[in-house]
Amino acid sequence: MAKQKGIIKLEGTIGDITFYKSQDGFLAKGKGGIPADRIANDPNFARTRENGAEFGNAGKAGKTLRTALRALLQNSKDNRMVGRLASKMVEVIQADAVNPRGQRNVIDGEAELLEGFDFNKNGKLGRALYAPYTAVIDRLLGTLTANLPAFVPANMIAAPGGTTHFKIVSAGAEIDFENESFVVDTNETAILPWDNVATAVINLANTVTANSTHPLFLALGIEFYQEVNAVKYPLRNGAFNALSLVKVSGL
């Protein structure tokens, strides 16, 4: 593809060239490519079909995880999160040492590779929350817990300009990737002032199925607010809110 230059930007098709607008600006690409039926049946494209199948599995797995965490993701994501998560899911699938190419999956892969994934590249948890915390998954009890000792918000939270308040949020998710289903439990603090007064100890416990046989994910995040006339508004529509997978337990 090529990037359009000049004052006039085109959208549509002229001859064999398609002009369109994307997140990277106005682009142009030529028609063509290999016919779909050849890719689907030609032995020379076996690797292509295998890669396509695994990328499809990664996309479905990413969608299931996103859906499970949707309540928090509505406030904490960037516009390329879907693609970034799918790429990470491909890494998880490629770590499957059990199944042949084309049949590798998340269940037999390494779900733990998702640990540390930030859903908002513009608001990463490690750059916003400096207060120490522990993330614990107890598979036997079905509890996923984030614990934060008391801390002074102004010292331990790097808040964007305009912040007056914040909230710590969490989610525990049990994901059945094979059936594209999940169990999820969310928790949060009250909206707290971003000031020099220490918080109380924060304990966010999320509960899923006890002794589950599915991968478990603990997400932790922070949301920022601005108080105006006694009303607390999400700061810049959540542009800098952070949400990260802080603990993952595969099978």
Q: At residue 102, does pLDDT exceed 60? A: yes
Q: Calculate mean pLDDT across residues 197-203.
A: 98
- Which residue type sits at 34? I
Nearest partner of 209 among 188, 181, 229, judged by Cα: 181
What's the pLDDT tens digit per position in 113-125? 999 999 999 999 9
Long-range CB pairs of 41-50, under 8 A, 24+ apart, other chains included: 47/101, 49/102, 50/101, 50/102
Tell me whether residue 11 is exposed, middle or buried, using C-beta atoms within 10 angstroms of its C-beta: 0 to 12, 13 to 18, 19 or more. exposed
Percent of all residues in the chain with a pLDDT value above 70, rounded to a whole number? 80
State the CB neighbour count (10 A cutoff) for residue 218: 24
Coarse DSSP helix, strand, coil percentages of the chain, rounded to the nearest 5 percent: 25, 35, 40
Q: Calculate mean pLDDT across residues 11-35.
A: 64
Residue extents of the structural domains in the chain: 36-249
Q: Calculate mean pLDDT across residues 108-115.
A: 95
Reported confidence tier of residue 101, pLDDT bands at 50, 70, 90? confident
What's the pLDDT tens digit per position in 26-67? 666 656 565 666 545 555 555 566 666 678 889 999 999 999
Nearest partner of 179 among 90, 70, 105, judged by Cα: 105
Contact 130, 166 (CB under 8 A): no
The CATH number assigned to the domain with range 36-249 reads 2.60.40.10
Mean pLDDT of the chain: 88
Phi, psi (rounded to 5 degrees) for 128:
-115, -40
Which pLDDT belongs to residue 47? 58
Q: At residue 158, does pLDDT exceed 70? A: yes
Residue 210, helix vs strand vs coil: coil
